[in-house]
Structure 1
Protein backbone atom coordinates (compact mmCIF):
# COMPACT_ATOMS: atom_id res chain seq x y z
CA UNK A 1 0.00 0.00 0.00
CA UNK A 2 1.20 3.50 -0.83
CA UNK A 3 -0.88 5.77 1.40
CA UNK A 4 -2.67 3.70 4.04
CA UNK A 5 -0.02 1.18 5.15
CA UNK A 6 0.80 2.88 8.51
CA UNK A 7 -2.89 3.19 9.39
CA UNK A 8 -3.57 -0.40 8.37
CA UNK A 9 -0.59 -1.68 10.40
CA UNK A 10 -1.90 0.15 13.47
CA UNK A 11 -5.43 -1.25 13.06
CA UNK A 12 -4.07 -4.74 12.43
CA UNK A 13 -1.91 -4.64 15.56
CA UNK A 14 -4.78 -3.35 17.71
CA UNK A 15 -7.79 -5.17 16.31
CA UNK A 16 -6.50 -7.85 13.93
CA UNK A 17 -7.25 -10.73 16.29
CA UNK A 18 -10.55 -9.37 17.60
CA UNK A 19 -12.26 -8.45 14.30
CA UNK A 20 -13.96 -11.33 12.58
CA UNK A 21 -13.35 -11.56 8.83
CA UNK A 22 -10.34 -9.24 9.08
CA UNK A 23 -9.29 -10.12 5.49
CA UNK A 24 -12.31 -8.09 4.37
CA UNK A 25 -10.93 -5.09 6.25
CA UNK A 26 -7.57 -5.63 4.54
CA UNK A 27 -9.29 -5.85 1.16
CA UNK A 28 -11.08 -2.55 1.75
CA UNK A 29 -7.85 -0.81 2.82
CA UNK A 30 -5.95 -2.18 -0.17
CA UNK A 31 -8.73 -1.17 -2.57
CA UNK A 32 -8.99 2.36 -1.17
CA UNK A 33 -5.21 2.77 -1.33
CA UNK A 34 -5.04 1.65 -4.97
CA UNK A 35 -8.03 3.83 -5.80
CA UNK A 36 -6.15 6.89 -4.51
CA UNK A 37 -3.32 6.11 -6.95
CA UNK A 38 -5.56 5.99 -10.00
CA UNK A 39 -7.70 8.87 -8.75
CA UNK A 40 -4.65 11.14 -8.71
CA UNK A 41 -4.20 10.53 -12.45
CA UNK A 42 -7.88 11.31 -12.97
CA UNK A 43 -7.53 14.59 -11.03
CA UNK A 44 -4.53 15.61 -13.12
CA UNK A 45 -6.42 14.97 -16.36
CA UNK A 46 -9.55 16.65 -15.04
CA UNK A 47 -7.52 19.63 -13.86
CA UNK A 48 -6.09 20.12 -17.34
CA UNK A 49 -9.59 19.91 -18.82
CA UNK A 50 -10.95 22.53 -16.39
CA UNK A 51 -7.98 24.82 -17.02
CA UNK A 52 -8.70 24.75 -20.75
CA UNK A 53 -12.38 25.33 -20.06
CA UNK A 54 -11.62 28.29 -17.83
CA UNK A 55 -9.26 29.73 -20.41
CA UNK A 56 -12.10 29.64 -22.93
CA UNK A 57 -14.21 31.50 -20.33
CA UNK A 58 -16.70 28.66 -20.09
CA UNK A 59 -18.55 28.40 -16.76
CA UNK A 60 -17.59 25.67 -14.32
CA UNK A 61 -20.29 24.26 -12.05
CA UNK A 62 -18.25 23.45 -8.97
CA UNK A 63 -21.01 21.62 -7.09
CA UNK A 64 -21.46 19.24 -10.01
CA UNK A 65 -17.66 18.97 -10.31
CA UNK A 66 -17.38 17.82 -6.70
CA UNK A 67 -20.12 15.22 -7.18
CA UNK A 68 -18.46 14.02 -10.39
CA UNK A 69 -15.10 13.51 -8.66
CA UNK A 70 -16.69 11.67 -5.74
CA UNK A 71 -18.58 9.49 -8.24
CA UNK A 72 -15.39 8.68 -10.19
CA UNK A 73 -13.60 7.76 -6.95
CA UNK A 74 -16.52 5.53 -6.04
CA UNK A 75 -16.46 3.78 -9.45
CA UNK A 76 -12.70 3.15 -9.20
CA UNK A 77 -13.10 1.82 -5.66
CA UNK A 78 -15.96 -0.44 -6.74
CA UNK A 79 -13.88 -1.95 -9.53
CA UNK A 80 -10.93 -2.55 -7.18
CA UNK A 81 -13.15 -4.17 -4.57
CA UNK A 82 -14.77 -6.54 -7.03
CA UNK A 83 -12.23 -7.18 -9.82
CA UNK A 84 -8.65 -6.22 -8.92
CA UNK A 85 -8.53 -7.81 -5.49
CA UNK A 86 -5.52 -8.92 -3.45
CA UNK A 87 -2.43 -8.96 -5.72
CA UNK A 88 -4.41 -8.37 -8.91
CA UNK A 89 -4.10 -5.05 -10.70
CA UNK A 90 -4.66 -3.57 -14.13
CA UNK A 91 -0.96 -4.16 -14.86
CA UNK A 92 -0.77 -7.89 -14.14
CA UNK A 93 -4.12 -9.45 -15.06
CA UNK A 94 -4.63 -11.40 -18.27
CA UNK A 95 -7.58 -12.97 -20.01
CA UNK A 96 -8.23 -16.57 -18.98
CA UNK A 97 -10.26 -18.60 -21.45
CA UNK A 98 -13.01 -20.53 -19.66
CA UNK A 99 -16.34 -22.07 -20.65
CA UNK A 100 -19.46 -19.96 -20.04
CA UNK A 101 -20.83 -22.84 -17.98
CA UNK A 102 -18.67 -21.62 -15.08
CA UNK A 103 -20.96 -18.60 -14.71
CA UNK A 104 -23.72 -19.00 -12.13
CA UNK A 105 -26.72 -18.45 -14.40
CA UNK A 106 -29.56 -19.67 -12.16
CA UNK A 107 -30.82 -16.92 -9.81
CA UNK A 108 -30.50 -17.24 -6.01
CA UNK A 109 -29.06 -20.78 -5.99
CA UNK A 110 -25.56 -19.78 -4.89
CA UNK A 111 -26.90 -17.16 -2.49
CA UNK A 112 -29.14 -19.78 -0.85
CA UNK A 113 -26.12 -22.09 -0.44
CA UNK A 114 -24.41 -19.40 1.66
CA UNK A 115 -27.09 -19.84 4.34
CA UNK A 116 -25.81 -23.38 4.90
CA UNK A 117 -22.31 -22.27 5.90
CA UNK A 118 -20.86 -22.12 9.40
CA UNK A 119 -21.41 -18.35 9.44
CA UNK A 120 -24.14 -16.21 7.88
CA UNK A 121 -21.67 -13.38 7.31
CA UNK A 122 -20.96 -14.40 3.70
CA UNK A 123 -24.69 -14.60 3.02
CA UNK A 124 -25.43 -11.16 4.47
CA UNK A 125 -22.46 -9.56 2.76
CA UNK A 126 -23.30 -11.11 -0.60
CA UNK A 127 -26.92 -10.01 -0.36
CA UNK A 128 -26.86 -6.65 1.39
CA UNK A 129 -23.33 -5.74 0.37
CA UNK A 130 -24.13 -6.05 -3.33
CA UNK A 131 -27.22 -3.91 -2.82
CA UNK A 132 -25.64 -1.21 -0.66
CA UNK A 133 -22.53 -0.85 -2.82
CA UNK A 134 -24.72 0.15 -5.77
CA UNK A 135 -26.99 2.65 -4.00
CA UNK A 136 -24.48 5.49 -4.75
CA UNK A 137 -24.48 4.31 -8.38
CA UNK A 138 -28.17 5.08 -8.81
CA UNK A 139 -28.02 8.37 -6.92
CA UNK A 140 -24.85 9.62 -8.62
CA UNK A 141 -25.91 8.62 -12.13
CA UNK A 142 -29.27 10.34 -11.71
CA UNK A 143 -27.67 13.52 -10.34
CA UNK A 144 -25.00 13.81 -13.02
CA UNK A 145 -27.41 13.32 -15.92
CA UNK A 146 -29.05 16.66 -15.08
CA UNK A 147 -31.86 17.47 -17.52
CA UNK A 148 -31.32 14.24 -19.45
CA UNK A 149 -32.24 12.26 -16.34
CA UNK A 150 -34.80 9.49 -16.56
CA UNK A 151 -35.31 6.54 -14.25
CA UNK A 152 -34.58 4.02 -17.00
CA UNK A 153 -31.42 5.76 -18.20
CA UNK A 154 -29.98 5.88 -14.69
CA UNK A 155 -30.98 2.27 -14.11
CA UNK A 156 -29.33 1.32 -17.40
CA UNK A 157 -26.04 2.85 -16.23
CA UNK A 158 -26.13 0.79 -13.04
CA UNK A 159 -26.91 -2.42 -14.93
CA UNK A 160 -24.17 -1.69 -17.47
CA UNK A 161 -21.54 -1.11 -14.77
CA UNK A 162 -22.60 -4.27 -12.91
CA UNK A 163 -22.47 -6.27 -16.15
CA UNK A 164 -19.01 -4.85 -16.90
CA UNK A 165 -17.76 -5.90 -13.46
CA UNK A 166 -19.13 -9.43 -13.83
CA UNK A 167 -17.59 -9.65 -17.31
CA UNK A 168 -14.16 -8.52 -16.08
CA UNK A 169 -14.32 -10.97 -13.19
CA UNK A 170 -14.99 -13.76 -15.67
CA UNK A 171 -12.42 -12.71 -18.28
CA UNK A 172 -9.61 -12.05 -15.77
CA UNK A 173 -10.62 -14.94 -13.47
CA UNK A 174 -10.51 -12.64 -10.42
CA UNK A 175 -13.94 -13.46 -9.05
CA UNK A 176 -17.10 -15.50 -9.48
CA UNK A 177 -19.54 -14.21 -12.10
CA UNK A 178 -23.03 -14.66 -10.69
CA UNK A 179 -26.46 -13.58 -11.94
CA UNK A 180 -27.34 -12.87 -8.30
CA UNK A 181 -24.77 -10.07 -8.18
CA UNK A 182 -26.36 -8.43 -11.22
CA UNK A 183 -29.82 -8.69 -9.64
CA UNK A 184 -28.73 -7.30 -6.26
CA UNK A 185 -26.70 -4.52 -7.92
CA UNK A 186 -29.76 -3.55 -9.94
CA UNK A 187 -31.86 -3.38 -6.77
CA UNK A 188 -29.22 -1.16 -5.17
CA UNK A 189 -29.22 1.12 -8.21
CA UNK A 190 -33.01 1.42 -8.05
CA UNK A 191 -32.85 2.35 -4.36
CA UNK A 192 -30.28 5.04 -5.18
CA UNK A 193 -32.48 6.50 -7.92
CA UNK A 194 -35.50 6.56 -5.61
CA UNK A 195 -33.42 8.35 -2.95
CA UNK A 196 -32.39 10.89 -5.60
CA UNK A 197 -36.02 11.50 -6.56
CA UNK A 198 -36.97 11.91 -2.90
CA UNK A 199 -34.13 14.39 -2.39
CA UNK A 200 -35.26 16.35 -5.45
CA UNK A 201 -38.85 16.43 -4.18
CA UNK A 202 -37.70 17.63 -0.75
CA UNK A 203 -35.47 20.28 -2.34
CA UNK A 204 -38.29 21.63 -4.51
CA UNK A 205 -40.61 21.67 -1.50
CA UNK A 206 -38.00 23.61 0.48
CA UNK A 207 -37.54 26.05 -2.41
CA UNK A 208 -41.27 26.65 -2.64
CA UNK A 209 -41.47 27.39 1.08
CA UNK A 210 -38.51 29.74 0.74
CA UNK A 211 -40.18 31.80 -1.99
CA UNK A 212 -43.57 32.03 -0.24
Structure 2
Protein backbone atom coordinates (compact mmCIF):
# COMPACT_ATOMS: atom_id res chain seq x y z
CA UNK A 1 0.00 0.00 0.00
CA UNK A 2 1.15 3.54 -0.75
CA UNK A 3 -1.20 5.74 1.29
CA UNK A 4 -3.07 3.60 3.81
CA UNK A 5 -0.43 1.16 5.09
CA UNK A 6 0.04 2.80 8.55
CA UNK A 7 -3.72 3.04 9.13
CA UNK A 8 -4.25 -0.54 7.99
CA UNK A 9 -1.50 -1.87 10.27
CA UNK A 10 -3.06 0.00 13.20
CA UNK A 11 -6.50 -1.50 12.55
CA UNK A 12 -5.01 -4.95 11.93
CA UNK A 13 -3.11 -4.88 15.23
CA UNK A 14 -6.21 -3.87 17.20
CA UNK A 15 -9.02 -5.68 15.41
CA UNK A 16 -7.40 -8.27 13.10
CA UNK A 17 -8.21 -11.19 15.40
CA UNK A 18 -11.65 -9.99 16.46
CA UNK A 19 -13.25 -9.01 13.15
CA UNK A 20 -14.73 -11.93 11.24
CA UNK A 21 -13.80 -12.04 7.55
CA UNK A 22 -10.92 -9.58 8.11
CA UNK A 23 -9.54 -10.36 4.60
CA UNK A 24 -12.53 -8.40 3.28
CA UNK A 25 -11.39 -5.38 5.31
CA UNK A 26 -7.90 -5.83 3.89
CA UNK A 27 -9.30 -6.01 0.36
CA UNK A 28 -11.19 -2.75 0.87
CA UNK A 29 -8.08 -1.00 2.21
CA UNK A 30 -5.95 -2.30 -0.65
CA UNK A 31 -8.55 -1.29 -3.25
CA UNK A 32 -8.97 2.22 -1.84
CA UNK A 33 -5.19 2.65 -1.72
CA UNK A 34 -4.78 1.61 -5.36
CA UNK A 35 -7.74 3.75 -6.39
CA UNK A 36 -6.20 6.83 -4.76
CA UNK A 37 -2.99 6.25 -6.74
CA UNK A 38 -4.74 6.17 -10.13
CA UNK A 39 -7.25 8.85 -9.16
CA UNK A 40 -4.40 11.35 -8.74
CA UNK A 41 -3.55 10.90 -12.43
CA UNK A 42 -7.22 11.45 -13.32
CA UNK A 43 -7.28 14.69 -11.30
CA UNK A 44 -4.14 15.95 -13.04
CA UNK A 45 -5.64 15.25 -16.46
CA UNK A 46 -9.00 16.73 -15.49
CA UNK A 47 -7.27 19.81 -14.10
CA UNK A 48 -5.58 20.37 -17.46
CA UNK A 49 -8.94 20.08 -19.25
CA UNK A 50 -10.58 22.57 -16.88
CA UNK A 51 -7.63 24.93 -17.27
CA UNK A 52 -8.09 24.91 -21.06
CA UNK A 53 -11.82 25.51 -20.58
CA UNK A 54 -11.11 28.49 -18.37
CA UNK A 55 -8.73 29.96 -20.93
CA UNK A 56 -11.44 29.69 -23.58
CA UNK A 57 -13.86 31.33 -21.10
CA UNK A 58 -16.18 28.34 -21.15
CA UNK A 59 -18.41 28.00 -18.06
CA UNK A 60 -17.54 25.24 -15.58
CA UNK A 61 -20.39 23.57 -13.71
CA UNK A 62 -18.64 22.90 -10.41
CA UNK A 63 -21.43 20.81 -8.87
CA UNK A 64 -21.39 18.51 -11.87
CA UNK A 65 -17.60 18.48 -11.73
CA UNK A 66 -17.65 17.25 -8.11
CA UNK A 67 -20.14 14.49 -8.98
CA UNK A 68 -18.06 13.48 -12.02
CA UNK A 69 -14.90 13.16 -9.92
CA UNK A 70 -16.69 11.15 -7.24
CA UNK A 71 -18.16 8.92 -9.96
CA UNK A 72 -14.73 8.30 -11.51
CA UNK A 73 -13.28 7.47 -8.08
CA UNK A 74 -16.18 5.07 -7.51
CA UNK A 75 -15.65 3.33 -10.86
CA UNK A 76 -11.92 2.90 -10.19
CA UNK A 77 -12.65 1.54 -6.71
CA UNK A 78 -15.27 -0.84 -8.07
CA UNK A 79 -12.86 -2.28 -10.64
CA UNK A 80 -10.15 -2.75 -8.02
CA UNK A 81 -12.56 -4.43 -5.62
CA UNK A 82 -13.83 -6.86 -8.21
CA UNK A 83 -11.02 -7.42 -10.72
CA UNK A 84 -7.61 -6.39 -9.35
CA UNK A 85 -8.09 -7.89 -5.93
CA UNK A 86 -5.57 -9.41 -3.50
CA UNK A 87 -2.07 -9.17 -5.00
CA UNK A 88 -3.37 -8.52 -8.50
CA UNK A 89 -2.87 -5.16 -10.17
CA UNK A 90 -2.90 -3.70 -13.65
CA UNK A 91 0.86 -4.29 -13.82
CA UNK A 92 0.99 -8.00 -13.02
CA UNK A 93 -2.18 -9.60 -14.42
CA UNK A 94 -2.01 -11.71 -17.55
CA UNK A 95 -4.53 -13.17 -19.95
CA UNK A 96 -5.50 -16.75 -19.11
CA UNK A 97 -7.10 -18.78 -21.90
CA UNK A 98 -10.10 -20.74 -20.62
CA UNK A 99 -13.23 -22.26 -22.14
CA UNK A 100 -16.43 -20.20 -21.93
CA UNK A 101 -18.06 -23.16 -20.20
CA UNK A 102 -16.34 -22.03 -16.98
CA UNK A 103 -18.69 -19.04 -16.82
CA UNK A 104 -21.76 -19.60 -14.64
CA UNK A 105 -24.45 -18.97 -17.24
CA UNK A 106 -27.49 -20.38 -15.40
CA UNK A 107 -29.10 -17.77 -13.10
CA UNK A 108 -29.25 -18.24 -9.31
CA UNK A 109 -27.68 -21.72 -9.23
CA UNK A 110 -24.39 -20.65 -7.66
CA UNK A 111 -26.11 -18.15 -5.38
CA UNK A 112 -28.39 -20.88 -4.07
CA UNK A 113 -25.35 -23.07 -3.37
CA UNK A 114 -23.97 -20.38 -1.06
CA UNK A 115 -26.91 -20.97 1.31
CA UNK A 116 -25.47 -24.43 2.02
CA UNK A 117 -22.19 -23.09 3.41
CA UNK A 118 -21.11 -23.12 7.05
CA UNK A 119 -22.19 -19.47 7.33
CA UNK A 120 -24.51 -17.29 5.26
CA UNK A 121 -22.00 -14.45 5.00
CA UNK A 122 -20.91 -15.33 1.45
CA UNK A 123 -24.55 -15.63 0.39
CA UNK A 124 -25.56 -12.26 1.83
CA UNK A 125 -22.45 -10.52 0.52
CA UNK A 126 -22.90 -11.99 -2.97
CA UNK A 127 -26.58 -11.04 -3.09
CA UNK A 128 -26.81 -7.73 -1.24
CA UNK A 129 -23.21 -6.68 -1.83
CA UNK A 130 -23.60 -6.85 -5.61
CA UNK A 131 -26.80 -4.80 -5.37
CA UNK A 132 -25.48 -2.17 -2.93
CA UNK A 133 -22.19 -1.65 -4.76
CA UNK A 134 -24.09 -0.68 -7.94
CA UNK A 135 -26.59 1.74 -6.38
CA UNK A 136 -24.08 4.63 -6.81
CA UNK A 137 -23.70 3.52 -10.43
CA UNK A 138 -27.35 4.19 -11.18
CA UNK A 139 -27.49 7.41 -9.17
CA UNK A 140 -24.26 8.87 -10.55
CA UNK A 141 -24.94 7.92 -14.16
CA UNK A 142 -28.46 9.35 -13.97
CA UNK A 143 -27.15 12.64 -12.52
CA UNK A 144 -24.49 12.99 -15.21
CA UNK A 145 -26.95 12.05 -17.96
CA UNK A 146 -29.81 14.41 -17.03
CA UNK A 147 -31.17 14.54 -20.57
CA UNK A 148 -33.65 12.69 -22.74
CA UNK A 149 -33.81 8.94 -22.12
CA UNK A 150 -31.39 9.23 -19.17
CA UNK A 151 -33.07 6.27 -17.43
CA UNK A 152 -32.36 3.88 -20.30
CA UNK A 153 -28.88 5.27 -20.88
CA UNK A 154 -27.98 5.02 -17.19
CA UNK A 155 -29.29 1.46 -17.05
CA UNK A 156 -27.23 0.50 -20.11
CA UNK A 157 -24.13 2.01 -18.50
CA UNK A 158 -24.70 -0.08 -15.35
CA UNK A 159 -25.16 -3.27 -17.37
CA UNK A 160 -22.14 -2.48 -19.56
CA UNK A 161 -19.86 -1.89 -16.54
CA UNK A 162 -21.11 -5.09 -14.88
CA UNK A 163 -20.47 -7.14 -18.04
CA UNK A 164 -17.04 -5.49 -18.39
CA UNK A 165 -16.12 -6.48 -14.83
CA UNK A 166 -17.25 -10.08 -15.34
CA UNK A 167 -15.34 -10.20 -18.64
CA UNK A 168 -12.13 -8.87 -17.05
CA UNK A 169 -12.47 -11.38 -14.21
CA UNK A 170 -12.73 -14.14 -16.78
CA UNK A 171 -9.92 -12.89 -19.03
CA UNK A 172 -7.46 -12.31 -16.17
CA UNK A 173 -8.75 -15.21 -14.04
CA UNK A 174 -9.10 -12.95 -10.98
CA UNK A 175 -12.63 -13.95 -10.05
CA UNK A 176 -15.63 -16.10 -10.91
CA UNK A 177 -17.72 -14.82 -13.82
CA UNK A 178 -21.37 -15.32 -12.94
CA UNK A 179 -24.61 -14.22 -14.59
CA UNK A 180 -26.02 -13.67 -11.09
CA UNK A 181 -23.59 -10.79 -10.54
CA UNK A 182 -24.88 -9.03 -13.67
CA UNK A 183 -28.48 -9.53 -12.53
CA UNK A 184 -27.83 -8.20 -9.01
CA UNK A 185 -25.71 -5.33 -10.36
CA UNK A 186 -28.55 -4.38 -12.68
CA UNK A 187 -31.00 -4.36 -9.76
CA UNK A 188 -28.62 -2.07 -7.86
CA UNK A 189 -28.38 0.25 -10.87
CA UNK A 190 -32.18 0.43 -11.11
CA UNK A 191 -32.43 1.29 -7.41
CA UNK A 192 -29.82 4.03 -7.87
CA UNK A 193 -31.73 5.50 -10.83
CA UNK A 194 -34.94 5.41 -8.77
CA UNK A 195 -33.24 7.20 -5.86
CA UNK A 196 -31.98 9.87 -8.25
CA UNK A 197 -35.45 10.41 -9.71
CA UNK A 198 -36.92 10.76 -6.22
CA UNK A 199 -34.21 13.19 -5.07
CA UNK A 200 -34.48 15.18 -8.31
CA UNK A 201 -38.26 15.41 -7.91
CA UNK A 202 -37.88 16.64 -4.31
CA UNK A 203 -35.28 19.20 -5.44
CA UNK A 204 -37.56 20.54 -8.18
CA UNK A 205 -40.52 20.78 -5.78
CA UNK A 206 -38.40 22.78 -3.34
CA UNK A 207 -37.20 25.08 -6.10
CA UNK A 208 -40.79 25.71 -7.22
CA UNK A 209 -41.83 26.42 -3.62
CA UNK A 210 -39.10 29.02 -3.05
CA UNK A 211 -40.28 32.64 -3.13
CA UNK A 212 -38.86 34.78 -5.92
CA UNK A 213 -36.08 37.10 -4.80
CA UNK A 214 -36.65 40.82 -5.16
CA UNK A 215 -34.39 42.54 -7.62
Give the TM-score normalised by the residue count of structure 1: 0.98
Aligned equivalent of 2:129: 129
Aligned equivalent of 1:110: 110
SS in 1 for 2:181: helix
Deviations 1:122-161 (A, max 9, x none): 0000000000000000000000012245211110000000
Aligned equivalent of 1:88: 88
Task: Note the 1:51-62 alignment, pairs <5 A.
Answer: 51-62=51-62
Shift of 1:94: 1.1
Deviations 1:45-99 (A, max 9, x none): 0001100110111010000000000000000000000000011111111111000
Aligned equivalent of 1:144: 144
Take 1:150 and 1:2, find their aligned partners in 2: how far apart are those partners?
Answer: 38
Take 1:209 and 1:59, find their aligned partners in 2: how far apart are those partners?
Answer: 28
Aligned equivalent of 1:71: 71
Aligned equivalent of 2:179: 179
Take 1:186 and 1:169, find their aligned partners in 2: how far apart are those partners?
Answer: 18
Take 1:59 and 1:204, find their aligned partners in 2: how far apart are those partners?
Answer: 23
Take 1:65 and 1:53, find their aligned partners in 2: how far apart are those partners?
Answer: 13
Take 1:202 and 1:187, find their aligned partners in 2: how far apart are those partners?
Answer: 23
Take 1:162 and 1:30, find their aligned partners in 2: how far apart are those partners?
Answer: 21
Take 2:53 and 2:207, find their aligned partners in 1: how far apart are those partners?
Answer: 31
Unaligned runs of 5+ in 2: none
Unaligned runs of 5+ in 1: none
Q: How many residues are treated as equivalent by the alignment?
A: 212
Take 1:210 and 1:186, find their aligned partners in 2: how far apart are those partners?
Answer: 36
Is the CA contact 1:35–1:77 (under 8 Å) kept in the aligned structure 2?
yes
